[in-house]
Amino acid sequence: MEKNESVQCSVQDEVMHICIDRPEKRNAITMPMFTALSAALKEADQRDDVLCIVVTGNGGVFCAGHDLKAFEEWPQQPHDPVPTFLHAIADVRKPLVIAAHGSAAGIGVTWLLHADWVVTSAEATFKLPFIDLGIAPEAASSLLLERAVGLPRAKRLIFGGEAFTGADAYQWGLVAELSSPEEVSERAFERARFFASKDPVMLRRMKDWLHPSNEFHQRIDEEVDEINAAVDRKRKSTKASE
């Protein structure tokens, strides 16, 4: 597994815990972290002693999204860190549980669309800031968000870029469970142990039907191409104005 001090992994009771551990930067994801997260997800999916995956964030928030400084490393080619990560989250075939505490933005929110169970609190806040950044949404969210919350709300969240709460997300069907802020991670681990106690073959079959990864890869690539083009336009505009 690719090692990175900001991505911590452990296995207990047939559950792999992946912790985003960069609290001083609100768990914003750097390029090395994207690589480490991809490796952790792939390893978890391949290990016989892992039956479920839990993802948490250290500190007060789950994940602030893509580290903005890391945009200096765009455009991204198919085998670069971000596209590799996006395809990895779509490919996970074992049950994936995410504890989305505090707040999340960008990839910290679109990742939830690939989870099988998301726990958050009513007070948590979420935001899809793509319209403000001038880039396309990612992780096949231009496809999956509509399925999760319906077309009018998907347009509102993507076009408007406005924040919404955990209570909103639960009401709309974006997350599976609400708990108190202090118990988000605990409830996620309880759900993970529940999944780990069930028939893994049947769980995989259910996931293949409900979340067919082969359907999402083309959209992920299309979105990455659009982000690459947007980054290129911004750079050309900046140079022209200098």
Rounded to the nearest 5°, which phi and psi values hold at 71? -65, -15
2 has pLDDT over 80: no
CA separation for the pair 164, 145 (Å, rounded):
14
- Give the CA-trace dihedral at 176, 179, 183, 185, to 10 degrees: 20
Q: What is the DSSP letter of 28?
A: P
- Note the pLDDT of residue 237: 81
Structure tokens at 214: 């082969």
For residue 1, is pLDDT > 60?
no
Please say if the pLDDT value at position 178 is more than 80. Answer: yes
The better pLDDT of the pair 240, 39 is held by: 39
Q: What are the tens digits of pLDDT across the range 127-163?
A: 999 999 999 999 999 999 999 999 999 999 999 999 9
Q: What is the mean pLDDT of residues 67-94?
A: 95
Going by C-beta distance under 8 Å and a sequence separation of 6 or more, which residues neighbour residue 199? Answer: none
3 pLDDT above the threshold of 70: no
Domains of the chain: 7-184+197-241 (3.90.226.10)
Task: Tell me the residue type at 167.
Answer: A
* pLDDT (0 to 100) of residue 99: 98
Q: What is the mean pLDDT of residues 65-72?
A: 91
Segment 180-196, tens digit of pLDDT: 999 999 999 999 999 99
Distance CA(95)–CA(53), nearest Å, equals 6
Q: Which two tokens stand for residue 147?
A: 């399925």
